Every structure is written in C-alpha cells, then in structure tokens.
Structure 1
Amino acid sequence: MTSSPSSPAPASRIRWRRGRVTELGRSWRDAQEMTVKVFDDEIRALAHPSLVGTPEIGDEVLLNTTAWAQKLGTGGYALVVAVPDRLPADPEGLGTPGAGHLVKGRYTPLQVTVQGVDEQDTEHHEAIAAAEDLGGMPVVVADLHSALPAVLAGVHVTDPALRVAYVMTDGGALPAAFSRTLDALDGSLAGVVTVGQAFGGDLEAVTVHTGLLAARHVLRADVTIVTQGPGNLGTGTPWGFSGVAAGEACNAVHVLGGQTIGALRISDADPRPRHRGVSHHSLTAFGRVAMGGVTLVAPRGIGSELGKQVEEDLAGQPERNLIEWVDTEGLDDALAGSPVTMSTMGRSVAEDRAYFLAAAAAGRFAAQLALFGALPA
C-alpha cells in the first residue's frame, strides 16, 4: 500500500502548448522570432537556436506560453522549448574535459552548460585567479538594461577610443541573446560578460566579482557598465524589485577597488509617483544597499523644476555617497547618434529625456575618470 503525500503537489507554473510554425520573423544574435499557430490563435514566439535548434516553417514546436498568457511587456513571447521532430545535434565536446562545467538555470528543465572564464582548464583561469583588483577602473552601475546604450553614448562622446565592457546580471532576462540592444551595439563594446544565472555573453562568469575582473583583465576595459538583462521584476514594495542587485554590484566594485558610479533613474514622465524625480529604486539600491560609497551623477540641463526635485531627492543620501552634477552639452546629439533605438518602459528619448540624459551623464563622468582621474576643472 502506498502512502499519500501529506499535501498536494503545487499547481504547474508553466503553461505548455504545441503548435506549428507558420511564419519566420526577424532574427538577431542567438534569437529567432516566429509566428506559431496554436488551435485558433496566432502566437508570437521566440527561439534561441543554440539551445533548441532553428525552427522552420511547418515544424511542430513545444512552447512555454506562460509569459505570453500574462501579456508581459519585455518578455511577452511564447518560448520555443523544443522542436520534437527535428532535435538539434548534441553540442560539440559536451561532457568532455574543457567543454565547460558552469551550469546556468541550474536544476530547471532548461539548464544549459557553458564554459566560464573563471573555471579551471580555460585559457583565462590563471589571469582571473591571479587578479586581485580592478586597478581603479570606473564602473557605471544602472538599474535597467535600457540605460546601457545611453551610458555607452556618454562614454564614447567623451572619447570613442575608450574600451567599454558590459557585465550583465541576472535580474532580468537570462539569455544575453534576448537583447536587441546588444545586437545593435555589436562592435561598440569590448565584450559582454554574463554572470550569475545569465548566459550567452562573450565570456561567462560565476559571480559579479569574477565578471568585473574578466572585464578588466581579459577584455582590457577602461570602463565597465553593469546592469541586469532586458526586463526587470518589481512588486511595488520598497525592497521587492530586481534592481536591488544594483546595490550589491556596487559592493562588488568597492571590494575590488573600482570606482563606483551610480546612473540615477530619473524621470518626469513616469506615471508612477515612486519613479518620478529620482526613482526609489536608485535611492534604495545606492543609498541603502551599497555600503562602500557611490558617486551619484545628476545631469544638468533637465529643467529647473525637475532639477530641484532631483536635488531634494538626493539630499537624504548617506555621507559616503558623493553627488556630482555633470554638464550635458552634446549628450542629446550623442543619444540621437546611437545605433540603438532607445526606449525605457515604452518611452522614447523624446518622451523621457531626463532618464537617458542621466545615464549618458554617468557615462561621461566615468570616461573623465578613466582619462584624467576626475572631471576637468
């Protein structure tokens, strides 16, 4: 006689569907959009070919429709889990020495193995093992992935020769390939390092710490930008948002001897009061989570009313955090010249100029530190 479980198993957290590919859409990096017919619905779906192979028109596909059913913004795709009748070949070298043993998405049905820059038997292991600090490298930490191209524009308008690396954390999307921003920035970055559970960068690392060391000692970056991948998670509570990790990233920079710069999330267009002026995300992550001191960059030229609000919001920052007001002359043109069509929470640069200026100003400040050790007098 078998015993019954003491409590019923939890309901499934994944919505599963089968469908057939009817149309292929745009593709970028390691991502392929498509339309899949499921019963009477035409569903927008996405596949990562390196994981599941490349679906073709007419293929039956197995889908995870959870995000699609919830009508999520950034991640509102049905995701191709498998092409059951045409499975891809096994990855070359999988299970052999040197193939990599870092597992991302650990113990989920879709865990993937990658080779880490910091693991044994790799060409960079010795350099990472010997690295002790960042040598004073400026590191710009931002809450949202949408800040990345604006920070980069601020760096390169100051000096286009500066090498900039991107460390992508796992608070948003896990696959770097999901980011169309990274696709558009191809050739503009020294490289992408995916850390934690994120994967798909030019380099993989176990932690933010080794990711930062890889940016400095492997990619030879002059400046590094740290943000989560596309998307983010928030609950409308003081601590329940994925951007809290920005403060932890600042702690890693501080421990490793970098110069930490906070790209403030500023807006006068966000309809939510908690994100107007300086967002509570920035005030919490930089003011309460980051313990080593962060230079918070505020942009000039955003208008007297919003500027006054920003000044008031930053008045409560701890003494360890410095406030730098940075000139924004030329930054509008730099943003307009970016290869990325910038958007944050569905708002363009024209609709939320202050947000993008703040990120670009942080990039300009980081570039000045990299070049001169301080802003010019």
Structure 2
Amino acid sequence: MIRWRKGEVAAVRREWPGAVELDVTLPEGNCRALAYPPLVGRPEPGDTVLLNTTALAMGLGTGGYAMVVAIPDRLPEDPSGPGHLVKARYTPLQATVQGADEQGSPHHDVLRDADSVSGMPVVVADLHSALPAVLCGLFAARPGVRVAYVMTDGGALPAWFSMSAARLREIGWLCGVVTTGQAFGGDVEAVTLHTGLLAARHVLSADVAVVAQGPGNLGTGTRWGFSGVSAGEAVNAASVLSGRPVASLRVSEGDARDRHRGVSHHSLTAYGRVALARAQVVVPDLPGPFGQQVSTAAATLSSRHELVHVPVTGLYEALEHSPVRLSTMGRGLKEDPASFLTAAAAGRHTATLLTT
C-alpha cells in the first residue's frame, strides 16, 4: 500500500507557508519531494529523509510528489502547544491540533452555543481549482470583502499543500483558512464542516465562506464514487446554519471525458441528489451552443433549487488578473475558459447578496 524509499536531500527548490519542495537523490535517480515542516521538521541539503513515493509511482498529477515521512537523523522537538484534536487519526502521521470548538480554546465560549451564520453567503464548489476563480468574480464586484476558505477533507488533508490558498491568504483575498474533518493546517481547525462554517463567521468575522475540498479530487468514474459528493452535504450544512448556499457548477468545455463535459455529473449528482436544502445554483450565460448545453443541463436542477442566470461579460478579464495560477485538471484559462467563468459567475452573484 505504501512504497517506501530512503534518500538524501540535494536541494531546496522553493517553499511556501507550511511546505518545502525538495530535490531528493534516490538510488534510482532524483525526484521531487514535499515536506511539511510543522509535521516532520525542516529538511536541509544533506539530510537523510524517509519518503512515501506512492503518488510518484501512480503518476498522480496533483499529488505528484514523494512525501517526506521523517528526517530520521534529526527529529523535531516534541510539540508544546495546546490542543487535543487528533487529525489523520490512527495513521502513522496523526497530528494533534487545537480546534476552535474544543474545550480550552479561546473561541470555545463563542462557538459552544453558536447555531447560525446569520445569513452569510456560502459558496460551494466541487473542485479546489474553483476557489481563486470564485474570488476573482467576487472581488471584481466587491473589493475588500472578508472571505474565509473552509476546506473539507475530500482531497488533500494538509491545507499547506495548496500554494493558491497560501498566496490568497498572503495578499488578503482570504481572511483565513478553516480546515474541517480530517483536514488540518488551516488558520483555524474545526471538528466538522458545521463548526468550520460557524468559525468562519464568528472567529474570522467572514462576510463570505467558500467551501471546497483541498487539491486532489478523487473520482472513480461511477455515479457515487467521487469526493465531490461532499458539495451536496455542504449545501445542507450552510442551510441548517441559516446561511445562504450558493452552488457553483463544475463545467468544462475542455475535458475529454463525456461525463464532465458541459455540466459535470458530479454537480448534477451532488446538487440534484445529495443536497436536500434549497440553494441558489449559478448558471453562467455562456455564448453559443455550448452555453445552451450548460443551461439545459442545469435546468434539471430547477425542481430542487433556484437557478440564477449570471452574465459573464468582463469576467474573463478579471480572471486574467488572478493573483494565482488558474488550473483545473492541468488545463488553464485559455484551455478551459468555461470552467473558470462558471466559478467566477458564482462569485459575481455572491457579491449581490452582500449588504452595503
């Protein structure tokens, strides 16, 4: 189940908050590796590292790194901070963090009886790649709004894996990252998506929350076997907490797989079957026959949700100025504009829900 290797750090390639990318020399050649210093310490050139090379062997696109499991000759000091939430529980790398909702947290009193996000718009998306595009549409209409990213555990568990989230946090497009469920490494930790949304509102004072899994969507080509099913559950969570769920569709005109062309079956299943609460489903007014195809597919959700048609004029230019690289399944803005325009349209609509 795990492919183990031992190597030597040749060089540090680059780093961002919570993560360090390395060149590591193995007996069979060099490879790229990723270390999370909060978990294993910071590797330096010359260090021996123990690696999990499973993702490399499988040829995973998003997760195509060897992962540093330990620096066996230079172990980090024992943690001394508070917290008793265990994430990645009963795995060899289970980590203890302080949850905003746990006893002893400075936020426990705020969250103990919290039961509402008071009408906060909650944008729900299937893929992590939608996050910057949603923000491009939102900030083009409402600069300065406070947005929290609430990360579910369907993809990467460490929030540190996302260079986009780190950069968006750095420039102020995110007021914070909340990691929920088994995900960890956010500015705020939470046990469930529900307490994660409450923390976004009451701890980070967010005006808007964007809910999406971390990088590394998992799909099996079956009706129900994909991690994006959680998008439907996120609609339910936002609704039960008196939020305003806004559903961003997964749309593609560049995906070679029929099940993801137009409106992906992931969105049709998650919003059409899993989401029991009513959401505003944003339908982008894309031009031509492809736009009609998207509109027709989205119409199948109208019995359960409110469809909101949003013009995309000017959104491509906003996306061109994204502060982070736009990429979905290896395709950029030019290769799959409909994907990013759809997410940006959800952001544009969300701006209209905010009171001045």
Q: TM-score by structure 1 length? A: 0.92
Question: Residue 67 of structure 1 aligns to which amino acid in structure 2?
Answer: A
Deviation at 1:130, TM superposition (A): 2.4
Q: Deviations over 1:150-178 (max 9, x none)?
A: 10111111111211111000000000000
Match in the other structure for 2:15: 27
Structure 2 SS opposite 1:156: helix
Deviation at 1:339, TM superposition (A): 0.7
Deviation at 1:318, TM superposition (A): 4.9
Question: Residue 169 of structure 1 aligns to which amino acid in structure 2?
Answer: T
RMSD: 1.0
Distance 1:125 1:271 in 2: 47
Gaps of 5+ in 2: none
Question: Residue 297 of structure 2 aligns to which amino acid in structure 1?
Answer: D
Find the partner of 2:220 among 226, 235, 241: 235
Larger Rg: 1
Distance 2:308 2:302 in 1: 14
Mean CA deviation greater in 190-199 or 332-341: 332-341
Find the partner of 2:95 among 112, 133, 138: 112
Distance 2:133 2:214 in 1: 15
Structure 2 SS opposite 1:371: coil
Residue 282 of structure 1 pairs with residue 270 of structure 2? no
Percent identity, aligned pairs only, is 61
Find the partner of 1:317 among 296, 301, 317: 301
Match in the other structure for 1:298: 283
Structure-to-structure mapping, 1:32-71, within 5 angstroms: 32-71=20-59
Structure-to-structure mapping, 1:335-346, within 5 angstroms: 335-346=319-330
Match in the other structure for 1:329: 313
Find the partner of 1:250 among 213, 229, 235: 235
| Count of residue pairs brought into register by the alignment | 354
Runs of 4+ residues over 3 Å off in structure 1: none
Question: Residue 320 of structure 1 aligns to which amino acid in structure 2?
Answer: R
Residue 159 of structure 1 pairs with residue 147 of structure 2? no
Structure 1 SS opposite 2:290: helix
Match in the other structure for 2:126: 143
Distance 2:36 2:158 in 1: 9
Deviation at 1:37, TM superposition (A): 1.3
Match in the other structure for 1:225: 210
Residue 350 of structure 1 pairs with residue 334 of structure 2? yes
Distance 1:235 1:130 in 2: 39
Deviation at 1:58, TM superposition (A): 0.9
Mean CA deviation greater in 266-275 or 35-44: 35-44
Structure-to-structure mapping, 1:170-189, within 5 angstroms: 170-185=153-168, 186=170, 187-189=172-174
Structure 2 SS opposite 1:357: helix
Match in the other structure for 2:105: 122
Distance 1:192 1:53 in 2: 22
Deviation at 1:118, TM superposition (A): 0.3
Question: Residue 132 of structure 1 aligns to which amino acid in structure 2?
Answer: D
Residue 103 of structure 1 pairs with residue 82 of structure 2? no
Distance 2:95 2:252 in 1: 38
Distance 1:238 1:318 in 2: 20
Deviation at 1:303, TM superposition (A): 1.7
Structure 2 SS opposite 1:61: strand
Distance 1:61 1:73 in 2: 23
Structure-to-structure mapping, 1:188-199, within 5 angstroms: 188-199=173-184
Q: Deviations over 1:292-325 (max 9, x none)?
A: 112110112x222111101221222252211111
Question: Residue 243 of structure 1 aligns to which amino acid in structure 2?
Answer: G
Gaps of 5+ in 1: 1-12, 94-98, 373-377
Residue 371 of structure 1 pairs with residue 355 of structure 2? yes
Mean CA deviation greater in 309-318 or 41-50: 309-318
Mean CA deviation greater in 347-356 or 311-320: 311-320
Question: Residue 368 of structure 1 aligns to which amino acid in structure 2?
Answer: T
Structure 2 SS opposite 1:298: strand
Residues 223 and 367 in structure 1, CA contact (< 8 A), matched pair in contact too: no
Structure 2 SS opposite 1:316: helix
Distance 1:266 1:173 in 2: 22
Find the partner of 1:92 among 80, 86, 89: 80
Distance 1:235 1:149 in 2: 26
Match in the other structure for 2:343: 359
Deviation at 1:40, TM superposition (A): 2.6
Distance 2:322 2:299 in 1: 33
Residues 267 and 277 in structure 1, CA contact (< 8 A), matched pair in contact too: yes
Distance 2:63 2:55 in 1: 6
Residue 215 of structure 1 pairs with residue 203 of structure 2? no
Residues 287 and 318 in structure 1, CA contact (< 8 A), matched pair in contact too: no
Deviation at 1:16, TM superposition (A): 0.9
Deviation at 1:330, TM superposition (A): 2.2
